[in-house]
Amino acid sequence: MIDDPARRRVVTITGACLLGLPAIGRADDAALLRDLRAGAAVLMRHTQTTPGAGDPPGWRLEQCQSQRNLAPSGIEHAKRIGRWFSTNDLRVSGVRNSPWCRTRDTATLAFGRHDDWAALSNLFEDRSAADAQSAQVNQYLLSLKPGELVVLVSHGSTIGHIVPGHGGLASGESVVVRPAGAGAPLTALGRLVVP
């Protein structure tokens, strides 16, 4: 539930318009950077993987080689995302990721660390725990101290459930949110796209 859809912005390091949303000016780039520096949560979809949807038959969570993993382009993209955060002096206080190898690798390549968290697990094949996972994420975001910037690396299906209307993120794209209070919907501050 997004409390103010009119505030959605798409920000890239070049200011280009993507995802069919309205183009934005440099002021919006600066505004989202201010929001990030003031404290927010970045819900990021893992970067580009090998072709396919879901994971191959017989995949196992504890065996990376059985899953769809990052493609070479995804590896490079994750590194660019990390450089973008560093170049813009964005200090990330926490990084959590789904236990899937592609999200763990995205987090590690971009931010030099990862923390597997089941609440960010992929909902592509099994949505039975979707509401519970979303509640855990919202509770975590409410527990953040003012000014904290955290990155949560997950999957498009999971992010779309946590922040309805934002499940269509492309690989490596993010929605920037801030909790509005207990029981209130997350405030979506914009989409972050680092090409």
All domains of the chain, ordered by start, with CATH? 5-14+24-49+67-189 (3.40.50.1240)
What confidence tier does 90 reach under pLDDT thresholds 50, 70, 90? very high
pLDDT of residue 13: 41
* Prediction pTM value: 0.83
Rounded Cα distance between 169 and 34, Å, is 22
What CA dihedral angle connects 195, 59, 123 and 168, to 10 degrees?
30
pLDDT of residue 28: 63
Phi-psi region of 59 (alpha: psi -120 to 50; beta: other; left: phi over 0): beta
Terminal Cα-to-Cα distance of the chain (whole angstroms): 27
Average pLDDT over residues 24-43: 80
Lowest mean pLDDT among 112-126, 160-174, 176-190: 176-190
- Is the confidence at residue 12, as pLDDT, over 70? no
Q: Tokens 């909790």 — which residue?
A: 179
What CA dihedral angle connects 48, 61, 84 and 17, to 10 degrees?
40
